[in-house]
Every structure is written in structure tokens, then in C-alpha cells.
Amino acid sequence: MRTRLAAPLVLLTALAVGCGGDGGGDGGSESASGDEGVTSEQFCDSFTAIETTEDFESTKSAIGEMADQGLPEEAPEEAVAGFEVLTDLAAEADDEKEANKLGEDIDAEGQASVQAFFEYSATTCAEEPAPEDGESPADEPTDEPTE
């Protein structure tokens, strides 16, 4: 499964942490500000759908669909700005090599906003941890003596 995740993660990483240049990365996509009806669950479904893509074009398409949907209304302004940087770069790139080059051109402010987007996504889309083996509500401490 890790191999299938490689393409989208490479694209997102290239777009997110390209590091370097002093230009570009000002965002500007109006659709990225989010539709009022987008829920956190819908956003997370779209965000995690990117992980199932297998090549550059399908990753780019999934990012475009997420851009059309937007972010939930409660997304912080800096996360919205980072989302705009990513979606604009994904729309502009024709291939993985170009995505890497565009990622290198993100300025420091753009890099910070992209980081804010990923932090928002990780927090919003984090799964509840499963109970550890052997734990259940019956295993909670009580005032009753045990035998």
C-alpha cells in the first residue's frame, strides 16, 4: 500500500515543502475559501481520497475536486491560504517534475500557510484511537472492591 501512496505524497510534499525560492505562492483561488455547506467529514473524505490515487494525473484531479469543494467554514485563515497555494500549484503543474519546480518557488509565507493547511488537515481528519487490547468500559476503575 505504501507504493500507492507515493505519488500523491510526492506531489503534496513537492507542493508543500519545496523550500527555497523567494517568489510565488500568493494563492488566490476563490473556490478554496470553502462552500458554506462543506462539513469536516466531507473535507476529510476528499483529503484522504488523495491518498488512494496512483499517479500524477489522478492526484491532480483529486486535488482539483477538493478545490472545487473548498474547506469547512471553521478552517483557519492561514490554512485556507495554504490550501489556495497547493490547489493553485496543482492546477498549474503539468507533470511531477513541474510540480517539484513550482514547489521550490513557494516563498516563506506560502510555506508557512501550507504547513498550517497540513496541520489543520491532520487535526481535523485525525481518527479516534482504537481502544487498546483488553480495554473496555467494564475495565474502568470503580469504587467496588474486586475479588
**Distance, CA of 104 to CA of 118 (rounded, Å):** 17
* Domain ranges (residues) in the chain: 2-11+26-127
pLDDT value, residue 93: 92
pLDDT value, residue 35: 41
pLDDT value, residue 141: 57
pLDDT value, residue 12: 62
**Which residue type occupies 43?**
F
Sign of CA dihedral 48, 54, 56, 57: negative
pLDDT value, residue 103: 87
User: Quick check: 72 and 49 in contact, CB under 8 A?
Assistant: no
**Distance, CA of 50 to CA of 64 (rounded, Å):** 10
pLDDT value, residue 11: 58
Question: Structure pTM?
Answer: 0.66
pLDDT value, residue 20: 33
Per-position b or e across 56-71, b if 16+ CB within 10 A of its CB: beebbebbeebbebbb
pLDDT value, residue 51: 81
Residue ranges, the chain, pLDDT below 50: 1-9, 16-35
